[in-house]
Amino acid sequence: MSQYDLIVIGAGAAGSAAAYHAADRGLKVLLLEQFEFDHGKGSSHGASRIIRFSYNREIYVRMAALAFSGWRSLEEVSGQTLMHRTGGINFGPRGEPHFEAMIDGLAAQQIPFELMDAKEGAKRFPQFRFDNDFEVLYQADAALLEASKCVLTHLRLAEQSGASLIQNAAVTSVSASESSVTVIASGSTYSADRLIVAAGAWSNHVLRHLNLQLPLQPVRCQENYFEFEHLQAYEMGSFPVFIAHLLSDYGYPYMPYGLPSVNGSGVKLSLHGGPPINPESPDRTADQALVSTMMAFAARYLTSPVIKLLSSRACLYTMTPDEDFIIDYHPEYHNVVIGACCSGHAFKFSNLIGGFLVDMATEQLPKFDLDPFTLDRFSLPDSR
C-alpha cells in the first residue's frame, strides 16, 4: 500500500489547486481523478470563467482581491498567461437589490468603479443595447480566466513538485481514523495522514463513506457559444465580461451573463443556474429552448446580429442552499478537509481556496476568516 502525507480527491479547479499548493509546500501528495484530466463532465473545464470584484457580499470582494494576486503569482511561476483583463459590466434596472448591494460592497472595499445611465453606457459600450431605466456599472479590473489552462497549469506544477497524479481512478471507498485515511481507487489502496475531498457534484458520493451528507444540489447549466456578425467587437480585448441583473420580470429564471470570444471560441452567453440534475446522468446534450433564450437575449441587448450557434453543451453547477461555499473539516475527522467550491462562482477563487484547504489539512490557520463557509450553518442529517 502506498503512503502519502495528503490525498486529494478530484482534479477540478479546487482539487488541482490544492494539489499544487500542497506539493509546493513539500508534502508528498497523491491526487485521484475519476475521469481524464480536464474532462467535460464536471464544472471546471472550458475556455473561460469570469473573475470580478463586483459582488453583493463584502466577503467575496475581499476574497477577490486575494484571488487576483494568487492568479498573478501562478502566472509568474508557470510562465503562462492565464488571466486576461477585459473589464466587466453589470447592468440592470435601477434599484435592483442585488445591484445596489454590489455597489455598496465595492464602495466599502474602495474598489474603483464607474456607474452610468443607459445612454452613457451605450456610448461607452456600443456592443450593448440597454433599456432606458437601466444603470450600468463598469469595473475595469474584471477579467477572464482560461479555465482549462488554469486547471492544467496547477496539475503540471503539482507534478513538477513531486505530486503523483492519477486519472481514471474513481475513489470507491474511503475510511478514516484520527491520524490516517485509506482510500481505494480502481482496485488500488492508498493511505495518507490527511485527505482533501474536492469532488464537486460527487462530494456526497465520496462523503457517504465517512457518514456525511452535505446539502448540495447539482443543477444543469449550459454553455452556449455564438458567432457574431461584428466579430472583432466581441472578441477578448474589445468586449467586457458582463452580468445582466435581469430575472423573472424580464423572462429569465436566472441571471444572463456573457464573456468575449477567446481564440475563436465564440461569445459565451449563458444563464447563471438551471434545474436539478443527477451528476451520473450521461446526457449532456444541449437544451435548444435555452439556446433560443440566449439568442433572444442577444437580439434584445446586444447590437451585433448573431450569425450562428457554434457549440452548446450542458454542464454542472453544484448549489448550496445559501450559494456560499463549504470549506470545513469533517465533523468527526479533523484530518479530512472538505472543499465544496460550488454554486457556480468558485472558479475565480480556486487558486486561493486550494491554499486554504492545504492550510487546514496541515493545521495552519488560513489567513482569511472562513467562518461563513463552515458546515455548522446547516443542520445536517445524521447519515449513520
Query: Which residue's CB atom is positioned nearest to ligand FAD?
Result: 12
Q: Which of residues 39-78 bind ligand FAD (CB under 6 A)?
A: 42-44, 49-50
Of 106, 111, 212, 316, which lies in the binding site for ligand FAD, with binding defined by CB under 6 A? 316
Q: Which of residues 177-206 bind ligand FAD (CB under 6 A)?
A: 198-202, 205-206
Closer CB to ligand FAD, 52 or 78, in the complex: 52
Binding characters for ligand FAD, 5-44, by CB under 6 A (x = yes)? ----xxxxxxx----------------xxxx------xxx
- Is residue 347 within the footprint of ligand FAD (CB under 6 A)? yes
Half-sphere exposure of 337 (CA within 13 A, CB side): 28
Task: For the CB of residue 263, give the shortest distance to ligand FAD in the complex, in Å.
Answer: 17
> Where do the DSSP E strands lie in the chain?
2-9, 29-32, 49-51, 83-85, 88-93, 114-117, 134-139, 143-145, 164-166, 171-176, 181-185, 188-197, 217-228, 241-244, 256-259, 267-271, 306-319, 326-329, 336-340
CA–CA separation, 366 and 355 (whole Å): 8
Phi-psi region of 261 (alpha: psi -120 to 50; beta: other; left: phi over 0): beta
Closer CB to ligand FAD, 118 or 201, in the complex: 201
Of 102, 342, 360, 361, which lies in the binding site for ligand FAD, with binding defined by CB under 6 A? 342
> Looking at this protein, which amino acid is placed at residue 266?
G
User: Residue 369 CA to chain centroid, in angstroms?
Assistant: 20
> Where do the DSSP E strands lie in 229-378?
241-244, 256-259, 267-271, 306-319, 326-329, 336-340
Closer CB to ligand FAD, 24 or 45, in the complex: 45
SS3 283: coil
- Is residue 142 within the footprint of ligand FAD (CB under 6 A)? no
> Looking at this protein, which amino acid is placed at residue 244?
A
Q: Which of 84, 83, 101 is nearest to 92 (CA)?
A: 101
Query: Which residue carries 497524479 as its cell?
Result: 165
Closer CB to ligand FAD, 183 or 302, in the complex: 183
Closer CB to ligand FAD, 13 or 27, in the complex: 13
Nearest-10 crossing angle of helices 58-78, 97-108: 60
- The span of 115-123, 124-132, 345-353, 361-369 binding ligand FAD (CB under 6 A) equals 345-353
- The span of 77-85, 245-253, 315-323, 326-334 binding ligand FAD (CB under 6 A) equals 315-323
Closer CB to ligand FAD, 15 or 105, in the complex: 15
CB 138 within 8 A of CB 5: no
Binding characters for ligand FAD, 206-245, by CB under 6 A (x = yes)? x--------------x-x----------------------
Going from the C-alpha of 116 to that of each of 100, 134, 187, 244, the distances in angstroms are 13, 9, 59, 15
Task: For the CB of residue 221, give the shortest distance to ligand FAD in the complex, in Å.
Answer: 5
Closer CB to ligand FAD, 136 or 144, in the complex: 144
What are 330's three cell numbers? 469533517
Task: For the CB of residue 117, give the shortest distance to ligand FAD in the complex, in Å.
Answer: 26
Chain contacts with ligand FAD (rule: CB under 6 A) = 9-15, 32-35, 42-44, 49-50, 170-171, 198-202, 205-206, 221, 223, 315-317, 341-342, 344-348
